Amino acid sequence: MLQSRQERRGNQPCQYPVSTYPLEVREEGISIEYPSVCIKETLSGKGGIVDLWYYFHEQIDDAALLAAQEALMTLDEHARYRSYHFEHDRRMFVATRALVRTVLSRYAAVAPSEWRFLPGKYGKPRVAHPDVAPPIYFNLANTLGLVVCALSVAHESIGVDVERIDRKTEILDLADRYFSHSEVRALRALPSSERLRRFVAIWTLKESYIKARGLGLTQPLDQFSFLLDQEEIGVAFDESMADDATRWRFALLDSAPHHMIAVGADTGGLALSLRTAHIVPLLGNGLQG
């Protein structure tokens, strides 16, 4: 359910990699390390490259560091921050804003506080100011404990989602409501002990696709199906969607024990070259590892 072994081995080591520690990813019980982010390569615009930055924000309890991250936000962002009732929601919002701002500033000579964003028609954010060359495309996702940012210069249509694996939910009821018939059949055929992980995998992949398209929930989730019982993740679209499955590439990162991350990109059919980096915004040089 991850990017294929062949594609991972095809990623060449970066001459100037970002320091990182490996995102704990497992495939058939084997720990997998994705290549580190290489900003120079990403900015070259080489097709297939998508960078995934991740921040385990609940591990940080440095009051001064958290205050500095909060200070990066605009007045509008501060207003949204104050609108959240629960402290964990406020912490997650600040972490998400600090992540995207500090990550973008690694690819362009712009101070983290200077970035301005605008939502698309269905809420997908984009850089509104300043204009930078080459343009940088990104997508964000967050959940309890983890915020992530997928970024590319080569591909505008990218999406990312992250979910908790240990959440309690009526998975079969939700699958019947939102998944395609083939996905529901495959889910019900699994032993009960394996259903939650498969459900979260499908859900995060679907979210990564609709976020990449920028369509929000206007796109019915049962009109496309993910094919997971094969070496590479596949997708099949209903005719009504008028999309080309051969253009899309996906990666699924099973980050034990709590999180699953899905990344989707319209690469035009190029192999997905996913790189990863862990960051603690504003801590030292911004990186942990």
pLDDT at residue 13 is higher than 60: no
Contact 51, 29 (CB under 8 A): no
Residue 32 pLDDT: 57
Residue 163 pLDDT: 95
Question: 95-99, 250-254, 262-266 — which is least confidently predicted?
Answer: 250-254
For the chain, which domains are there? 5-278 (3.90.470.20)
pLDDT at residue 227 is higher than 80: yes
Q: Model's pTM, two decimal places?
A: 0.89
Residues 196-206, mean pLDDT to the nearest whole number = 95
Strands 146-152 and 158-164, bridge-based pairing: unpaired
Residue 3 pLDDT: 34
> H/E element holding 88?
helix 87-104
Instruction: Select the more confidently predicted residue: 213 or 215.
Output: 213
The tens digit of pLDDT for each residue in 82-102 reads 999 999 999 999 999 999 999
The tens digit of pLDDT for each residue in 123-145 reads 889 999 999 999 999 999 999 99
